[in-house]
Amino acid sequence: MSSGNSSDLRVAESPTGAGRGVFARRVIAAGEEIERCPMLIVEGEQAEALSLGADGYVFGWGTESTALALGYGSLYNHSYAPNAETLETPHELVITALRDIHEGDEIFINYMGTAQEGVWFDPL
């Protein structure tokens, strides 16, 4: 999938009850880049305001920044057994398939990287 090809993804209600999620419109092969999400990165009072205004949709970025992932980046749901992983670059969040993802499958990432605990909500 070429980065930024949103026609290969769709947003819909998650059957898990976790709100909206991102779903594959076609088979995505293991190792394939799914999306490159530009990050809106803010610090200080702006970071606090962004966290309050977009609670649950922002990422901690470094030690003192908060970031909002553009594209579909802030809509991927969490799983401790994800089918995709994230890589943070200085200005992007890169989503890559960990295994084959079938057409219609929801794409999940682990919000905590590889950790198996630490989310602020009850995982499904």
User: Do the strands 20-24 and 84-88 form a parallel or antiparallel pair, or are they unpaired?
Assistant: unpaired
Q: Give the tokens for residue 51.
A: 């966290």
DSSP assignments along 74-116, one per residue: GGPEE-SS-SEEEEE-SSEEEEEESS-B-TTPEEEE-TTTT-S
Domain ranges of the chain: 6-109
Burial (CB < 10 A; 0-12, 13-18, 19+), residue 68, is buried
Tell me: domain 6-109, CATH 2.60.40.1180, correct? no
Read off the pLDDT of residues 5-36 as tens digits, 9 standing for 90 and up: 678 999 999 999 888 999 999 999 999 999 99
Read off the pLDDT of residues 45-103 as tens digits, 9 standing for 90 and up: 887 888 777 767 888 887 788 889 999 999 999 888 999 999 989 999 999 999 999 99
pLDDT the model gives residue 121: 45
Q: What is the pTM of this model?
A: 0.82
Question: C-alpha 106: how far from its chain's center?
Answer: 12
Read off the pLDDT of residues 109-120 as tens digits, 9 standing for 90 and up: 987 655 455 544
Which spans in the chain are helix H? Answer: 44-53
